[in-house]
Amino acid sequence: MDCINIGLIGYGVVGQGVVKALKSRRKFLREKYETDFFIKTICDRSIFKKPNPGLENTALTVDYHAILKDPDIHVVVELIGGLSPAKEIVLGALRAKKHVVTANKALIAECGLELFKEAETQGCSILFESSVGAGVPIIRTITEGMAGNKFNGVYGIINGTCNFILTAMSKHKLTFAQALKEAQEKGYAESNPSLDISGMDAAYKLAILVFITMGKFVSVKDIYVEGINHISHEDIEFAESLNLSICLLAIAKKTGNKLDVRVHPTMIPKDHGLATVNGVDNAIFLDTDPLGDVFIEGQGAGQMTAAMGVVADLINLGIRVDAPACIWAFNPADEVANLTLRKIEEVETRFYIRFMVIDKPGVLASITTVLGQHNISIASVSQKQEDKGSTVPVVILTHKANEREVKEALEKITELAVVKGKPVAIRMEKL
Ligand code: HSE
């Protein structure tokens, strides 16, 4: 195709980045791909509320139907986020036989199956590289570059804001609030940053990764999600002294016919590749067969990195417009059919547990008695020496323990008079 007419819906941070990237590269793209990537129309509900320098040759509208009805538009780029009206827009575009590029993780995670079926029916493509890891080529690497492999595990640092905060707390000694403010100022966080901090943003991305690797649609409400707002300097420092590092990890792990899907702060060995992922970078570590371990890393949030994922999708559409793109690489169908989700209460992991206790004889014995009653075996115990008479932190690393047992034991231990405040429990992964 010598000209691809694009209808862009959503002219926020990423939308503006896409326009900037396509304009500055138009000549280069024309020469390299013999295709003109032309943004014909932009739709945004606020488009007339401010001046739009540089958009003199672009039609502007507040009504997305103008794009869906335009027979000259080949591709709709949806960048408004959320489910409604994004779903109506994407379905409408596909039914009008237009290809779709979207960065909308919530939409793909929640409605992907329906949208992919519609795309197939209409003979169109729906591409979503920027929905996970922004422009870091995670989706295409898996769906195309790793096609034919089986996927046993996916471990991802897939929220740039959380990784930025944890890195800033650990390396630059910032407080949680200072680090969050900086992430927001740099444009990494969602408009509602609680989606990042609570782990929900990573859960949407994990649902997409599970689908493209293991072929199973998992609703985000079935993913166990825990955010990072209870992580303190104290735990970061303890982790360091134990040669561990804390990250918000999205995990999908297959053992037999059971699949763990969870997002939570996790302590991982300091010498693992994932522990070296700093700042706003995202990374995924894939356990595959027969290819083995694969690691992908790059900047996973920010205007231009997100925009470049969209641009890569547009170029891929441009060069394969008559052949719908692959959207999955996943495991054999019979394995997928038998795969069931493991409930969080059934999960077994090692734990880091920090108790604040009164420093006097017999305290440790009272804690370890409760742990023993719940079949929780201790791997190590350490205590930081503080001023006499004050409370002191005691850190226990457990061997593999059952979630339900740990939860019950911690409830009982919290009630002990010698224990002050709620214990902090952080799961550990060996990887
Ligand atoms: N807010 C997201 C993050 C970027 O911090 O990773 C977009 O997915």
State the closest ligand 1 atom to the C-alpha of 190, by its place in the atom list counted from 1.
1
Q: Which pLDDT band holds residue 162 (cuts at 50, 70, 90)?
A: very high
Query: Looking at the domain that runs over 346-428, which CATH code has it been given?
Result: 3.30.70.260
Q: pLDDT tens digits for 333-367?
A: 788 889 999 999 999 999 999 999 998 899 999 99
Select from 164, 184, 188 the residue to mutate for testing ligand 1; criterion: most ligand atoms less than 8 Å from CB.
188
Q: Is the CB of 190 under 6 A from ligand 1?
A: yes
- Residues of CATH 3.30.360.10 domain(s) within the chain? 138-299
pTM: 0.96
- Residues of CATH 3.30.70.260 domain(s) within the chain? 346-428
State the closest ligand 1 atom to the C-alpha of 130, by its place in the atom list counted from 1.
8
- Residues of CATH 3.40.50.720 domain(s) within the chain? 2-132+304-330
Q: Is the CB of 188 under 6 A from ligand 1?
A: yes
pLDDT, mean of residues 410-425: 97
The token duo for 362 is: 């017999």
Q: Is the CB of 104 under 6 A from ligand 1?
A: no
- State the helix-helix crossing angle for 160-171 and 233-241, rounded to 10 degrees: 70
pLDDT, mean of residues 97-118: 96
Q: Is the CB of 237 under 6 A from ligand 1?
A: no
Which residues are catalytic, by number? 205
Q: Is the CB of 301 under 6 A from ligand 1?
A: yes
pLDDT of residue 322 exceeding 80, the answer is: no
Q: Which pLDDT band holds residue 388 (cuts at 50, 70, 90)?
A: low
In this prediction, residue 387 carries a pLDDT of 62
State the closest ligand 1 atom to the C-alpha of 195, by its place in the atom list counted from 1.
1
Q: pLDDT tens digits for 33-69?
A: 999 999 999 999 999 999 999 999 999 999 999 999 9
Select from 190, 200, 204 the residue to mutate for testing ligand 1; criterion: most ligand atoms less than 8 Å from CB.
190
pLDDT, mean of residues 133-152: 95
Measuring CA to CA, which residue among 37, 39, 41, 40 is closest to residue 28?
37
CATH architecture of 2-132+304-330: 3-Layer(aba) Sandwich (3.40)
Q: Is the CB of 165 under 6 A from ligand 1?
A: no
pLDDT of residue 79 exceeding 80, the answer is: yes
In this prediction, residue 335 carries a pLDDT of 82
At the topology level of CATH, where does 138-299 sit? Dihydrodipicolinate Reductase; domain 2 (3.30.360)
Measuring CA to CA, which residue among 284, 152, 275 is closest to residue 213?
152
CA of 54 to the centre of ligand 1 (A): 27
pLDDT of residue 193 exceeding 90, the answer is: yes
